[in-house]
Amino acid sequence: MTEPSRLRRPAPRPVGSIVLGVGRIARGRADGVTQFSGTPQAFLSSLAPLLAFALVGCFLLLLHGDGLPAVTELLQTVVIALAPAVLSEPIARFWGRREQWLRFATALNWCQWAMPVAVAFGLMFGSLLPLFGASTAQAGRVVVA
């Protein structure tokens, strides 16, 4: 027996790769946003790793006996993680793009991981420059640039 149509959920729309989307956006390609889903579950999934590090840090500070700093840092991280999404929603509504906002917020959360990767590669590259005759100051300027 088949399920009544009013109870059936629509089939989930296939979405691309998060890594591919972050890579495309990092290279300035707007089509990278299409790799992300615009569902509440996708948004919460994009928040999970951002908040997981804060929870681990809070736990470690609590073990060390620093209760107030632990809670303060956890709340600070939650506010910092949610602020871009909260502040961008009224702008999206004003521009008539509210339907695309959740996808944007999800992409924004995942794309925050591109910066530490870029910095790590920059630092590795900069640490190799003195081996090829560059001064430490020159290598530092290259890394910053």
Q: Which residue has the tokens 């149509």?
A: 5
pTM: 0.73
| Residue 82 · residue 108 · CB < 8 Å | no
pLDDT tens digits for 26-57? 899 989 999 999 899 999 999 999 899 889 98
Per-residue pLDDT band for 5 (boundaries 50, 70, 90) equals low
Tokens of 133: 């005759």
Instruction: Output the CA–CA distances (angstroms, integers) from residue 22 to 11, 13, 63, 67, in the order listed.
Output: 25, 19, 35, 36
Per-residue pLDDT band for 142 (boundaries 50, 70, 90) equals confident
pLDDT tens digits for 73-84? 899 999 999 999
| Residue 43 · residue 15 · CB < 8 Å | no
Instruction: Output the CA–CA distances (angstroms, integers) from residue 142 to 66, 90, 109, in the order listed.
Output: 39, 39, 28
